Chains A and B, each alone.
Chain A
Amino acid sequence: AQKVTQAQTEISVVEKEDVTLDCVYETRDTTYYLFWYKQPPSGELVFLIRRNSFDEQNEISGRYSWNFQKSTSSFNFTITASQVVDSAVYFCALSDNNAGNMLTFGGGTRLMVKP
């Protein structure tokens, strides 16, 4: 069965601090896909990144970076020099061959960036 765990339910930082959001997943498949979504206070879901299980290269996009480690089944997300606009709930999600029609979401991490 698939499972995604985001152990940090809430994180509070001061602007300009770096922050890492943890994501640990479980799957029996060797082919799977990992995602991060952002849910700002307005409520919509914003796609951030998709990663397949065969690509372990870390990725950087501006202030965002992702660290994918198969050995620890983790797909962590780091925001560098956080800004108030980064305040949101962030969800990690998994799709694998066993449940190919659906995304399995973690419980989310609420990030609060204070000025």
Chain B
Amino acid sequence: NAGVMQNPRHLVRRRGQEARLRCSPMKGHSHVYWYRQLPEEGLKFMVYLQKENIIDESGMPKERFSAEFPKEGPSILRIQQVVRGDSAAYFCASSPVRGAADGYTFGSGTRLTVV
């Protein structure tokens, strides 16, 4: 029973390029959450999605960032026109039920470096 799978593990992009981060939740989990960890900081909530729906995007930057969780396939976090400040570790988590009360299972993260 595979855990939460994120890929790529490391991603390097030049300023102005697009970054696509993928997350496959655990089997049977239909709730996906994205968090960002800036260097030397804790994790900050970005967005919560259920299949085909964005439930809570209160932590998403207003511009350049988008997320989706299609009916088929992984959840995608997309960052357009990346800037150096986007360099961070991006973690995905999944849960079988709504909310964080039971805790999540986190993936290993994608480390984005913008050069």
A: which residues have CB within 8 A of B? 4, 6, 33, 35, 37, 43-45, 47, 50, 52, 91, 93, 95, 100-108
Interface assignment of B61: CB less than 8 Å from any CB of chain A: no
Q: Is the CB of A95 within 8 A of B99?
A: yes
Interface assignment of B100: CB less than 8 Å from any CB of chain A: yes
B: which residues have CB within 8 A of A? 33, 35, 41-45, 48, 55-56, 59, 89, 91, 98-109, 111
Q: Is the CB of A91 within 8 A of B43?
A: yes
CB distance from A46 to the nearest CB of B (A): 8
For B56, list chain A residues within 8 Å (CB): 101-102
For A105, list chain B residues within 8 Å (CB): 42-44
For A43, list chain B residues within 8 Å (CB): 89, 108-109, 111
CB distance from A95 to the nearest CB of B (A): 4
Q: Is the CB of A35 within 8 A of B44?
A: no
Q: Which 7 A-B pairs have the closest CB atoms?
A: A95-B100, A105-B42, A102-B45, A45-B106, A100-B99, A44-B108, A101-B48
For B55, list chain A residues within 8 Å (CB): 101
Q: Is the CB of B98 within 8 A of A108?
A: no
A35 to B105, CA, bound (A): 12
Q: Is the CB of A102 within 8 A of B42?
A: no
Chain B residue at minimum C-beta to C-beta distance from A104: B45
For A50, list chain B residues within 8 Å (CB): 102-103
Q: Which of B44, B91, B111 contacts A45 (CB 8 A)?
A: B91
A4 to B100, CA, bound (A): 15
Q: Is the CB of B103 within 8 A of A102?
A: no
For A44, list chain B residues within 8 Å (CB): 106-109
Q: Which of B41, B100, B103 contacts A101 (CB 8 A)?
A: B100
A45 to B37, CA, bound (A): 11
Would you list 7 pairs from A and B whose C-beta atoms are within 8 A, ordered by A residue?
Answer: A43-B111, A44-B106, A44-B107, A95-B101, A101-B33, A101-B100, A102-B33
Q: Is the CB of B42 within 8 A of A107?
A: yes
For A107, list chain B residues within 8 Å (CB): 41-42
For B41, list chain A residues within 8 Å (CB): 107-108
Q: Is the CB of A47 within 8 A of B103?
A: yes
